[in-house]
């Protein structure tokens, strides 16, 4: 008996008549309806937010589409207040309490962290490495919001010493000292004014310096001015722990801000957020020899600070 090869009637081939297909369709519809009511997008997003560290590294478009977008906190420049103490009039040296805010410190450190490299000194107009300065430095981008915040505060502190549209705050620099690192006695002003970098017929020198501390988790590491005497009648110059000079100085909150150095002059301990300000140039534009200073060696730990060198410009005919 021959078996017919003709297809069965169309009605018998419909999905609802195939074994199990009708039930499967019903189950799929129920599952989709259930996911719809449970907001599947929300659940998948939650899943990927938990497992995003490993999954979001995979170059798979479907996975990347669900990865959460991570945004850093927006920096806000705080007004705040700071306190000042005049330490010396010749040269003018001012101690500034709470010059930097915690949010500024964290932002500056995060920005500078990948930028540190061995420090240099300027000799004969060239930047060279030297065992006189063994720290690390990081130039900071001027467009950074935290950098702008700190520079604007420094500019306001300078007042009329900065001529609008003539002088500049200059690019700031972070400096970091680890165990044994130092910067021998030096001055910040240039022996000869530097030519402006814009190709104009102007020269500049560093009229002043700000040195503000960002990290102070170290022993020793004072900023030392050998030619600056102690202010009369100021109790801050007494070393309350009475330590011999050779012992490491492990700073505590009760320590004085500065002390009389055993070789003469003043030594300022690093305190997070506080700053030193001094004028580098005399009225005739020459450098003030008494502004010579040093970054004494760090015993252990890390000391990080920001250098700001406002620039005074001169037109050369």
By the 10 Å C-beta count (0-12 exposed, 13-18 middle, 19+ buried), 151 is classed as: buried
**201-212 confidence digits (pLDDT tens):** 999 999 999 999
By the 10 Å C-beta count (0-12 exposed, 13-18 middle, 19+ buried), 143 is classed as: exposed
* Residue 204 is assigned to a structural domain of this protein: yes
Residue 212 DSSP SS3: strand
The model's pTM is: 0.73
* Residue 31 is assigned to a structural domain of this protein: no
CB 241 within 8 A of CB 194: no
Q: Which domain holds residue 214?
A: 83-115+135-237+246-315
pLDDT score of 241: 46
* Residue 5 is assigned to a structural domain of this protein: no
Name residue, tokens 């200073």.
293
The count of structural domains within the chain is: 1
Cα separation, 97 vs 222, in Å, equals 16
Beta bridge partner(s), residue 306? 174, 212
**154-213 confidence digits (pLDDT tens):** 999 999 999 988 999 999 999 999 999 999 999 999 999 999 988 899 999 999 999 999
Query: Of 85, 84, 88, 86, whose CA–CA distance to 229 is shortest?
Result: 88
* Residue 9 is assigned to a structural domain of this protein: no
Q: Which CATH number fits the domain that encloses residue 164? A: 2.60.120.620
* Residue 159 is assigned to a structural domain of this protein: yes
């Amino acid at each position: 008996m021959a078996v017919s090869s003709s297809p069965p009637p169309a009605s018998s081939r419909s999905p609802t008549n195939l074994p199990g297909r009708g039930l499967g369709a019903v189950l799929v519809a129920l599952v989709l309806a259930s996911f719809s009511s449970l907001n599947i997008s929300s659940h998948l997003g939650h899943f990927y937010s938990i497992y995003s560290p490993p999954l979001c590294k995979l170059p798979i478009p479907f996975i990347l589409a669900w990865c959460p977008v991570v945004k850093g906190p927006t920096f806000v420049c705080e007004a705040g207040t700071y306190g000042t103490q005049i330490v010396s009039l010749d040269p003018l040296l001012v101690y500034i309490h709470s010059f930097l805010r915690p949010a500024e410190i964290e932002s500056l450190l995060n920005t500078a962290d990948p930028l540190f490299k061995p420090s240099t000194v300027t000799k004969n107009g060239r930047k060279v490495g030297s065992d006189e300065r063994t720290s690390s430095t990081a130039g900071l981008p001027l467009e950074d919001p935290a950098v702008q915040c700190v520079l604007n505060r420094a500019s306001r502190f300078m007042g009329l010493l900065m001529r609008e549209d003539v002088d500049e705050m200059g690019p700031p620099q972070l400096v970091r000292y680890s165990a044994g690192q130092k910067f021998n006695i030096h001055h910040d002003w240039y022996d000869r004014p530097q030519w402006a970098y814009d190709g104009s017929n102007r020269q500049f020198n560093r009229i002043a310096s700000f040195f503000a501390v960002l990290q102070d988790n170290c022993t020793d590491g004072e900023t030392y001015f050998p030619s600056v005497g102690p202010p009369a009648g100021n109790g801050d110059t007494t070393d309350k722990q009475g330590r011999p000079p050779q012992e490491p100085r492990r700073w505590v909150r009760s320590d004085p801000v500065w002390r009389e150095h055993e070789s003469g002059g003043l030594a300022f301990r690093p305190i997070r957020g506080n700053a030193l300000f001094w004028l580098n140039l005399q009225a005739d534009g020459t450098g003030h020899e008494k502004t010579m200073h040093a970054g004494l060696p760090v015993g252990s730990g890390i000391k990080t600070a920001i250098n700001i060198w406002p620039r005074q410009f001169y037109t050369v005919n």
